[in-house]
């Protein structure tokens, strides 16, 4: 079994990426490829659901950092939800929790996206 | 005693790995196990292993430019006061600037890297890079806090 898995689906107009397992520098290319695919398909409301993510390094966090500006310039956002305490703490160690929107669960995150005014 | 004299002169454990990212998970699990043996609580042991992951990743990506056949030696020194880990490698010397990481500026520049050293310095009590005669060393120390 792969130590890191990623799948995605559209939920009410939001591209949800489900991350599972151990996301380190060895696995990060698959995460970036899927995130870029979402953006290239003009999905700018992106939710990263980390319910089953048990480990992340700066490699994974760096991918989010590298694309967030482009997504926000297009009127969207990258939000994160359902993180374990351990993974949330890793984001907190680099100060991401002050810059990104961390939401308790997927439903609440989807609802927050729906309050974003439609793009012109 | 919180100085280098707190640690034994020879490592309690050492491992040499090839510079391959597929080995990172093994290094993380090994480090977590050793930190737990060194009486760190699991949560602290997990953070220490993350710092080692970041340090070894930096070596593979930046010093060895992803060449997969280079060597990295990791030494663990256990002591009642804490845990010292030394990572030895050759290749390009580390470029660790003293510049403070500014996440907002990095987002604007669309940077994907540069967070690893911040994580290491946040987690560990000491992170020191040295380079002597072509051999580089990243030494990290985590002291145990008194209960």
The CATH number covering residue B80 comes to: 3.30.565.10
Taking only the tens place, the pLDDT of each residue in B34-87 is 999 999 999 999 999 999 999 999 999 999 999 999 999 999 999 999 999 999
C-alpha to C-alpha distance for A53 and A20, rounded to whole angstroms? 4
- Reported confidence tier of residue A117, pLDDT bands at 50, 70, 90: low
The pLDDT assigned to B95 comes to: 66
Tell whether B4 is covered by a domain. no
CA of B98: how far to CAs of B62, B95, B126, in Å? 17, 10, 14
State pTM to two decimals: 0.93
- Interface probe for B, chosen from A57, A70, A73, A85 (most Cβ of B below 10 Å), is A57
Strands (E), A1-120: 4-11, 14-23, 45-56, 77-81, 101-103
Residue A65 Cα, gap to closest chain B Cα (Å): 6
Of B21, B54, B107, the CB nearest to A69: B107
Structural domain including B26 reads: 10-143
Kindly give the interhelix angle for B24-37 and B42-58, rounded to the nearest 10 degrees: 140
Whether chain B has a CB inside 8 Å of the CB on A93: the answer is yes
Tell whether B96 is covered by a domain. yes
- Can you identify the CATH homologous superfamily of domain A4-114? STAS domain (3.30.750.24)
Residues 92-131 of B with CB under 8 A from A: 101, 103-104, 106-108, 110-116, 118-119, 122-123
**ipTM over cut 0.95:** no
Domain count, chain B: 1
Tell whether B5 is covered by a domain. no
Residue corresponding to tokens 């599972």: A20
Tell whether B1 is covered by a domain. no
- Residue ranges of alpha helices (H) inside B2-146 are 24-37, 42-58, 103-108, 116-123
DSSP tag of B23: G
User: What residue in A sits closest to B23 (Cα-Cα)?
Assistant: A26
Taking only the tens place, the pLDDT of each residue in A69-80 is 999 999 999 999
Question: Residue A120: pLDDT above 50?
Answer: no
Tell whether B38 is covered by a domain. yes
């Amino acid at each position: 079994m792969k130590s890191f898995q990623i799948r995605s689906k559209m939920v009410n107009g939001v591209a949800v990426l489900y991350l599972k397992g151990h996301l380190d520098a060895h696995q990060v290319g698959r995460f970036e490829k899927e995130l870029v695919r979402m953006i290239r398909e003009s999905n700018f409301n992106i939710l990263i659901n980390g319910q089953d993510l048990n480990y992340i390094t700066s490699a994974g966090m760096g991918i989010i950092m590298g694309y967030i500006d482009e997504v926000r310039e297009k009127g969207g956002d990258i939000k994160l939800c359902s993180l374990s305490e351990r993974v949330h703490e890793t984001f907190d160690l680099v100060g991401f929790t002050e810059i990104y929107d961390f939401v308790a669960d997927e439903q609440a995150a989807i609802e927050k996206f729906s309050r974003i005014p439609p793009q012109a | 005693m919180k100085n280098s004299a707190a640690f034994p002169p020879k490592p309690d454990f050492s491992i040499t790995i090839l510079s391959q990212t597929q080995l990172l998970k093994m290094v993380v699990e090994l480090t977590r196990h050793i930190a737990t043996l060194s009486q760190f609580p699991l949560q602290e042991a997990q953070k220490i292993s993350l710092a080692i992951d970041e340090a070894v990743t930096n070596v593979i990506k930046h010093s060895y430019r992803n060449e997969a056949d280079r060597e990295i030696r990791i030494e663990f020194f256990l002591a009642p006061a804490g845990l010292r880990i030394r990572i030895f490698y050759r290749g390009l010397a580390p470029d660790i600037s003293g510049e403070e990481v500014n996440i907002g500026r990095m987002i604007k520049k669309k940077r994907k890297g540069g967070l690893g050293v911040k994580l290491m310095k946040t987690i560990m009590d000491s992170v020191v890079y040295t380079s002597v005669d072509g051999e580089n060393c990243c030494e990290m120390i985590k002291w145990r806090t008194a209960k």
